[in-house]
Structure 1
Amino acid sequence: MLQEATVQLDSFKGLFRRFLQEGAQTIQWDKIKPPAANMARSIVLPYASLDKPNDHDIKGLLDQLVVIKLNGGLGTTMGCVGPKSVIDVRDDMTFLDMTVRQIEYLNNRYHTNVPLILMNSFNTHEETDHVIQKYHGSTVTILTFNQSKFPRISKDTLLPVAKNYLDHEAWYPPGHGDIYESLVAAPFFESLLLQGRQYAFISNVDNLGATVDTSILNYLINQAPKCEFLMEVTDKTRADIKGGTLIDYEGKTRLLEIAQVPKQHIDDFKSVTKFRIFNTNNLWIKMSAIKKVVTNKELELEIIVNHKNMESGVNVIQLETAVGSAMKHFENAIGINVPRSRFLPVKNTSDLFLVKSNLYHQEKGTLVMNPKRLFEVPLVKLGDEFRVVSKFLARFATIPDILELDHLTVTGDVTFGRHVSLKGTVIMCHHGDRIDIPVGAVLENKIVSGNLRILDH
């Protein structure tokens, strides 16, 4: 434990030293170019160009894979206590349940043993280790490791606010960019290499679209063996304007995050015409390359300065890094433009509304779009009254039919009866008495406002 804390402290010192020297890093805007498809080192492949492997070859591919889920986050933004991964999202299954079921299906069908690895934080580690005991009879080997624990810094004094190591509020997990050093330090890392596990598929545990894709794995192993890092990107919509994007910067492919953008160019960064793709945070990285960049101390990730307020009122800063920004340190790194279905995050109850709806059905832990849905996922914005999961659930007798919905905005005290159908654009901006949407109601291209109650006829 002491050695682990010493290693983490050294990592923090290096990050803090760079922060004092460089500050919050921006980028020289005039050097930025969109990634060009014909550049040798700066390329975004279309997903449709990949070959689908034959069933009899898939076992050999999966034998070289580990799946890593970033599991350090809490469910506090949705009013939940504990790891976000244990929130029920669909058919009485949690994020973790669905992930285990996906990999269990692969292992059983192809007679392989793809391990599931969870990167926890000190906030989620204890409860996660307790929860995974329920998968003891599963065909999935589940391994866990903790990411680092860094001290929060006073914004005024630039000194650590922690009085001791057990004062959890004074410490923080330093972003998912910490995965490289923490993974290599994990006790099972070397044994995975010896087993021939060549590639890690890394994704956020709350992205229900981030499933193992054997076409991507086949491409890496059989067509691009020199590629050490592959990032899945997808087409940007107006709902994704803050997401990181791939750029060509001085001849190399790099990830550009909004925190790196000079303030005067923020609107340019958010443009869906200038930057057409964004990072899904689904990454495929060669395991030996991870060991190489960590052992050689090559990683120098862009610093993200996150401002927080402690319960005591102290203003603090957290120095964080992003896993995707390491792209520049890997050889022959590329992006691949994947279908939107591979990006299905649940960050709030508006997202939860979508994944619980009839837009999807669940097959072996994977959400599949309803074939009756003929166009892209609708834009849903639920107000503060729906933010907490328990209150969100109490406001819906059943999740409405939204197969023909384009846009839904709801603010105020609104409840929905059973078998409600929403179509086109539905907007409810209400302040006052409660609006009750009755059983079986069909709302199509409706704007509801004011102080009223919708009743059965």
Structure 2
Amino acid sequence: MATDSEKLSKLQSAVAGLSQISENEKSGFINLVSRYLSGEEEQIEWSKIQTPTDEVVVPYDTLAPIPEDLTETKKLLDKLVVLKLNGGLGTTMGCTGPKSVIEVRNGFTFLDLIVVQIESLNKKYGCNVPLLLMNSFNTHDDTAKIVEKYSNSSIDIHTFNQSQYPRIVVEDFMPFPCKGQPGKDGWYPPGHGDVFSSLMNSGKLDALLSKGKEYVFVANSDNLGAIVDLKILNHLINNQNEYCMEVTPKTLADVKGGTLISYEGRIQLLEIAQVPDQHVNEFKSIEKFKIFNTNNLWLNLKAVKRLVEADALKMEIIPNPKEVEGVMVLQLETAAGAAIRFFDHAIGINVPRSRFLPVKATSDLLLVQSDLYTLVDGFVIRNKERTNPANPSIELGPEFKKVGNFLTRFKSIPSIVELDSLKVSGDVWFGSSIVLKGNVSITAKPGTKLEIPDGAVIENKVINGPEDI
């Protein structure tokens, strides 16, 4: 059996011969693997975990109001860059290409909305907030084409790629591309923890600093709630916080989300994978860990440069085993939220739930396309008629999983302002102008097609056939 150091040197010489990636990528990859093999992961001592105080996780409603003087606000915004994590494909929703080009509402894609939002900000304050898109090798070519349609836009749009690392074949710990898999399947993007070194390696970081930019607001491109917030930016600049993670109160739907803890005098992210088995239920409880990470992050650019240059960002490694064409492979990833403990004066801000509106599945798409939201200047705004602060819980069967199928099964999206929960399974089709209220469950019997007629109003009902409507 090869020792870890033998495995590493064999891997290193194989990686040296890969022509598809840069020297930076090779050294970043080897660095990650050697950290993984050394087993340096510190175990969290459960008894040392403390709940962060309001100084560490600041309640949003205690933030100072933004300056009323527009020139003061312009000064704030001129220090800002918006960066969207755009490496994901829409494969889970049955789409090819970047997820950010799925149509969300009124014919606008995620990317369209992001561009409109920043345009209206720049126009209102006369500032120049640029947009950066961090792509992966999976989304780069498509995004480059898509971005051309914004060439007449008033905002500067820059794209750069995150690292491309070889998948490791579990059996002999060799790079997959060296084993007859030269195509895309041989590679993987190593998670959004890679954003720091990729910003630096792409030259974007120095370019932004030279233009006087100080903060970058990083968010997932599929989170429609992640819009620029001046109160947060103002707070960070005034308090010289190098890192801020937006967190929001947990509901039962978010029990697996990472949370912020105070640990040995520093703030740090605790993910479910780090929790000892006997404490998992405690981690999932809403009582002890009340908040979770939205992955809306604010970073000081000078601090990012300092820490990347010092090779100080040793985020927890997330091993992600997969099977590709019958071969067991391993990909090692990191998450940007885990970097919080390396920055000075790092904080969390406990933001309203409206800043977390991700679209991970067609059930989320149903929410944002419905009358629960309206669209104003590219911002998705919640309907005031909805009195319940929580969104309805929606479960759609596999027939609705792909966006194409989802769209054909609804003539129009039902009204759900008064809906609490919806469960749909089987071959169900919706007419137009349907209203759903309370708790609704619709199940088509196997082998039968169930059509909900135009204009139907369904309140607190279990429907198993046409006779129940």
Give the TM-score taking structure 1 as reference length. 0.95
Tell me the CA shift for residue 165 of structure 1: 8.5
Residue pair 2:81, 2:130 contacting (<8 A) in 1 also: yes
Q: Which residue number in structure 2 is paired with residue 77 of structure 1?
A: 92
Of 109, 113, 130, which residue of structure 2 is paired with 1:98?
Answer: 113
Separation of aligned partners in 2, 1:30 and 1:161: 41
CA deviations over 1:366-414 (Å, ceiling 9, x no partner): 1000111111211111111110000000110000000000111111111
Matches of 1:22 and 1:343, distance apart in 2: 34
Query: In the alignment, which residue of structure 2 is the partner of 1:241?
Result: 255
The answer to whether the 8 A contact 1:74-1:83 is kept is: yes
Shift of 1:306: 1.1
Aligned partner of 1:340 among 329, 344, 353: 353
Q: Does 1:355 align with 2:368?
A: yes
1:402 matches 2:419 = no
Report how far residue 189 of structure 1 moved. 2.2
Match of 1:111 in 2: 126
Question: Which residue in 2 is equivalent to 1:137?
Answer: 152
Cα distance, 1:91 vs structure 2: 0.7
Which deviates further from its counterpart, 154-163 or 126-135? 154-163
1:108 maps to amino acid: K
Which residue of 1 is the match for residue 51 of structure 2? 34
CA positional deviation for 1:112: 1.0
1:55 Cα deviation after fit = 4.6
Structure 1 partner of 2:331: 318
Counterpart-to-counterpart distance in 2, 1:96 and 1:274: 37
Q: Is 1:424–1:444's contact at 8 Å kept on the other side of the alignment?
A: yes
Structure 1 unmatched ranges of 5 or more = none
* 4+ long deviations beyond 3 Å: 1-4, 23-26
> What aligned pairs does 1:6-45 form with structure 2 within 5 A after superposition?
6-22=23-39, 26-37=43-54, 43-45=56-58
Contact 1:437 1:455 in 2 (8 A): no
Q: Residue 9 of structure 2 aligns with which residue?
A: none
Give the AA of the match of 1:99. I
Aligned ranges 1:273-288 → 2 under 5 Å: 273-288=287-302
Question: Quick check: 435-444 or 264-273, which moved more?
Answer: 264-273
Q: What CA deviation, in whole Å up to 9, does each residue of 1:320-353 have, x standing for no partner?
A: 0000100000001000000000000000000000
For residues 90-111 of structure 1, give each alpha carbon's deviation from its aligned partner in whole angstroms, at most 9, with x where no partner exists. 1100000000000000111111
In the aligned structure 2, how far is the partner of 1:263 from the partner of 1:346?
30
Aligned residues: 447
Whether the 8 Å CA contact 1:69–1:118 is kept in 2: the answer is yes
Kindly indicate whether residue 161 of structure 2 is the aligned counterpart of residue 146 of structure 1: yes
Pairing partner for 2:386 from 337, 362, 373: 373
Counterpart Cα distance in 2 of 1:356 and 1:267: 34
Residue 166 (structure 1) shift: 4.4
In structure 2, the partner of 1:329 is 342
CA offset digits 1:142-200 (Å, max 9, x no partner): 00110001111123333222227842101100000000000011233212112110000
Among 306, 309, 327, the residue aligned to 1:295: 309
Distance 2:468 2:349 in 1: 50
Residues 55 and 409 of structure 1: is their aligned pair in 2 closer, same or farther, counting only changes over 3 Å? Answer: farther
Taking only the aligned residue pairs, the percentage that are identical comes to: 52
Cα distance change, pair 316–280 in 1 and its aligned pair in 2 (3 A): same
CA–CA distance in 2 between the matches of 1:330 and 1:154?
Answer: 35
In the alignment, the residues of structure 2 paired with residue 26 and residue 87 of structure 1 have an alpha-carbon distance, to the nearest angstrom, of 40
- In structure 2, distance between residues paired with 1:82 and 1:315: 25
Q: Deviations over 1:110-131 (max 9, x none)?
A: 1111000000000000110110
Letter in 1 for 2:190: P
Provide closer, same or farther for how the CA distance between residues 3 and 170 of structure 1 changes in structure 2, counting only shifts above 3 A. Answer: closer
Q: Is the 8 A contact 2:437 2:459 kept in 1?
A: yes
Deviations along 1:399-440, whole A, 9 cap, x unmatched?
000000011111111111101111011112343212111111
Matched residue type, 1:306 = N
Q: Measure the CA separation in 2 of the matches of 1:243 and 1:182.
A: 25
State the distance in 1 between where 2:257 and 2:443 align: 28
Does the residue aligned with 1:246 lie in a helix, a strand or coil? strand
1:176 aligns with 2:192: yes
2:102 equivalent to 1:87? yes
Give the corresponding residue for 2:15.
Answer: none
Q: 1:266 to 1:159 in 2, by over 3 A?
A: farther
Q: Deviations over 1:243-286 (max 9, x none)?
A: 11101111210011122222332222211111110000001110
Matches within 5 A, 1:197-236: 197-222=213-238, 224-225=239-240, 227-236=241-250
Q: What is the alpha-carbon distance in structure 2 between the residues aligned to residue 350 and residue 392 of structure 1?
A: 9
Distance in 1 (alpha carbons) for counterparts of 2:65 and 2:427: 49
Shift, 1:28, TM fit: 2.6
The alignment status of 1:250 with 2:264, answered yes or no, reads yes
**Given that residues 24 and 260 in structure 1 are in contact (C-alpha distance below 8 angstroms), is that contact kept between their aligned partners in structure 2?**
no
Separation in 1, partners of 2:204, 2:235: 27
CA distance in 2 between counterparts of 1:418 and 1:454 reads 19
Tell me the alpha carbon deviations over residues 431-451 of structure 1, each in whole angstroms, 9 at most, x when there is no partner.
3212111111111111123xx
Aligned mates of 2:40, 2:451 — CA distance in 1: 52
Residues 17-67 of structure 1: CA deviation (Å, up to 9, x unaligned): 1111217765332222221235xxxx1111001122125121111100000
1:421 corresponds to which residue? 435
**Which stretch of the first structure deviates more once superposed, 440-449 or 362-371?**
440-449
Structure 2's unaligned 5+ residue stretches are 1-17
**Structure 1, 349-358 or 186-195: larger mean CA deviation:** 186-195
Contact 2:462 2:468 in 1 (8 A): no
**Counterpart of 2:59?**
46
C-alpha distance in structure 2 between counterparts of 1:234 and 1:36, whole Å: 15
CA change 1:55–1:100 in 2 (3 A) is farther
